[in-house]
Amino acid sequence: MIIPCIDLLGGKVVQLVQGRDKALEGGTPLEMLERFAAFPEIQVIDLDAAMGRGSNHDLVELIAARAVCRVGGGVRSAGRARELVEQGAHRIIVGTAAFDRKLLLEISGAVGPERLIIALDSRAGKVVVKGWQEATEFTAEEVIRQLEPFCSGFLCTYVDKEGLMQGTDLDWFRRLRACTGHELTAAGGITTLAEIGELQKLGIHAALGMAIYTGRLSMDELAKL
C-alpha cells in the first residue's frame, strides 16, 4: 500500500528535511485530501505536537473526519489516543510514548493493539524520539520484537534520508522485515517507483511525502500501484 503524508506545522501542510528545515508548503488540508482521494489511507502527523510546541488539533480533527487516516504526533496519553479515535482516526501512531512501558500499556489498552502503530524512527543507526530531537541508545532492530504485543504495525522512518530525495536505505528495511511479522511501513527518502517495488516485494508499505509534493513521483502512476 502507498500512503501519502500530510504533515502539519503552524497550521499549514508542510514538508521538512530531516525533521528540521521547512522545504515547502502544500495546499490546504482539504485540497490535499482531494488530491489523495484515490489512496486507501493517509498518514497525518502533527509536527508541532510531536515537538512539544503546540498543536494542530482542529486540522487533525478535520482531516480524520473525512478520510481513513493513521494519525500521530505528540500522542503521549491514553486520553489523547482515545480522543483521536473518537474524532475518526482509523489508527494511532505513537513514538516517544512507546518507550515508557506504563504509558504504552495505557495507550494500547485504551485503543487496542489493533489500532496502534509504533514509530521506530532511526537516525545514525539509533531510534530518535521527541519529534526526532532526541536520540536513544538502542536500534530499531533491538526493540522491535519487544514492542510487538502492544501494536499491530510499525512506522519506520530512515531519518538520515528524510526529505533529501536521494533514495532510502532498503537494506535497513530488509533487516527490519526479518525481525518482525507485524505490518511495516517505510518512510524517509523514498524517491523512485523501483524503491516502492522493492518494498512491495518485502511486504512493506510506503509512506510518501517529498517525492509526491515535488512531483518527482506521478500521482497517476502511484494510484495504479
What pLDDT score was predicted for residue 66? Answer: 95
Q: Which residues pair with 118 in a beta bridge?
A: 94, 154
Among the options 100, 121, 160, 171, which is catalytic? 121
| 121 carries an active-site annotation | yes
Question: Cα–Cα distance between 173 and 200 in angstroms, integer?
Answer: 11
Phi, psi dihedrals of residue 169, rounded to the nearest 5°: -105, 90
Asked if pLDDT for residue 102 goes beyond 80, the answer is yes
What pLDDT score was predicted for residue 121? Answer: 93
What percentage of the chain's residues is helix, strand, coil (to nearest 5)?
40, 25, 35
Asked if pLDDT for residue 163 goes beyond 90, the answer is no
Which range among 10-24, 39-53, 83-97, 184-198 shows the weakest confidence by mean pLDDT? 10-24
Asked if pLDDT for residue 224 goes beyond 80, the answer is no
pLDDT confidence of 30, banded at 50, 70, 90?
very high
Angle at 223 between CA 163 and CA 155, to 5 degrees: 45
pLDDT confidence of 122, banded at 50, 70, 90?
very high
| 7 carries an active-site annotation | yes
End-to-end CA distance of the chain: 8
- Tally of CB atoms within 10 A around 177: 18
Q: Which pLDDT tens digit goes with each residue over 56-101? A: 999 999 999 999 999 999 999 999 999 999 999 999 999 999 999 9
Among the options 7, 48, 58, 171, which is catalytic? 7
What's the average model confidence in pLDDT over 163-181?
A: 93
What pLDDT score was predicted for residue 17? Answer: 83
Asked if pLDDT for residue 18 goes beyond 80, the answer is no
What pLDDT score was predicted for residue 22? Answer: 82
Domain positions in the chain are 2-224
Asked if pLDDT for residue 36 goes beyond 90, the answer is yes
CATH class of the 2-224 domain in this structure: alpha beta
What pLDDT score was predicted for residue 221? Answer: 83
Helix (H, G, I), strand (E, B) or coil at 92: strand
Which range among 6-20, 94-108, 170-184 shows the weakest confidence by mean pLDDT? 6-20
Average pLDDT, the chain: 93
36 residue type, one letter = F
